[in-house]
Amino acid sequence: MLDDLQHCTRARYEICIDPTASRNLFERPDNDGFGTITWNPQLRSELEDGCGSDPAGHVMRDPVASLLHEIVHAAHDCAGLDAGEYELEAVRVENIYRRAAGLCPRHGYGDDRLPLEPTKGCAPARCDCSAAGASTAQRMPRPAAVPHRAADSQATPDEIGGADPAR
């Protein structure tokens, strides 16, 4: 993904570190051909309630996970895709890192939920998948994933663009 971005012929992407930014965001390239990722490496605010199977946990922003999320948007943009239509894909890639780093995985983006099937209820201190059949704890059923429409990128909390205020 990073190689694709480095050799992207469609646009160039800059990562701008902004310790005052209240959220990380990706801005599509303007006419100058430069897209911008605004990244606050100190931002560790809450994204969601619940951590894996622990409803009392919290999904917190993580600097690396956040940067990865925005880089996925840039990669989509470079591929000619509307990055706003692929928020759940950015979350899915972000979750690969989150799981590897022992962080709580995100459940979705705004009101859009990741499909339940590939989501295991793992948290750093408790994991449904470690003891086969031992855990009978049932999670509350989540609503089925809602098809993501392009217009949602304006209506939901969104890192793309930059005009709307912090969540």
Q: Site residues (CB under 5 A) for Zn ion?
A: 87, 90, 159
Nearer to Zn ion, 70 or 121 (CB): 70
SS3 68: helix
Nearer to Zn ion, 41 or 54 (CB): 41
| One-letter identity of residue 58 | H
Kindly state the smallest distance separating residue 86's Cβ from Zn ion, in Å: 8
Kindly state the smallest distance separating residue 106's Cβ from Zn ion, in Å: 10
Kindly state the smallest distance separating residue 136's Cβ from Zn ion, in Å: 35
CA dihedral sign, ordered 57, 58, 59, 61: negative
By the 8 A CB rule, do 94 and 67 touch? no
Nearer to Zn ion, 52 or 69 (CB): 69
By the 8 A CB rule, do 27 and 36 touch? yes
By the 8 A CB rule, do 8 and 132 touch? no
Kindly state the smallest distance separating residue 83's Cβ from Zn ion, in Å: 7
At 49, give phi and psi (nearest 5°).
-80, 150
Kindly state the smallest distance separating residue 90's Cβ from Zn ion, in Å: 5
Give one DSSP letter per residue of 69-115, joined into a string.
HHHHHHHHHHTT--GGGGHHHHHHHHHHHHHHTTPPPP-EETTEEPP
Nearer to Zn ion, 91 or 123 (CB): 91
Nearer to Zn ion, 43 or 121 (CB): 43
* Residue whose beta carbon is closest to Zn ion: 159
